Amino acid sequence: MKNSDKLSFLKFMGSSRETIDHLPKELAEAYYRFGRLPHYFISLTSLLRNAAPAIDAQQLIQVKQPAQLLLGDKDSFAPVGTGRSIAAAMPDCTLHVIKDGSHLPWLEKPSECGRLVNEFLLKTS
Task: Verify that 47 and 59 share a domain, yes or no.
Answer: no
pLDDT at 19 over 80: no
Measured CA to CA, the distance from residue 74 to residue 121 in angstroms comes to 25
Q: Which of 78, 121, 119 is nearest to 102 (CA)?
A: 78
Task: Verify that 65 and 124 share a domain, yes or no.
Answer: yes
Task: Verify that 124 and 78 share a domain, yes or no.
Answer: yes
- pLDDT the model gives residue 87: 95
What domain range is 8 assigned to? 1-53
Task: Verify that 103 and 47 share a domain, yes or no.
Answer: no
Task: Give the total number of structural domains in the chain.
Answer: 2
Q: Which residue has the higher pLDDT, 62 or 101?
A: 62
- pLDDT the model gives residue 75: 79
Q: Which of 37, 53, 69 is the last residue of a domain?
A: 53
Task: Verify that 16 and 71 share a domain, yes or no.
Answer: no
Task: Verify that 61 and 118 share a domain, yes or no.
Answer: yes
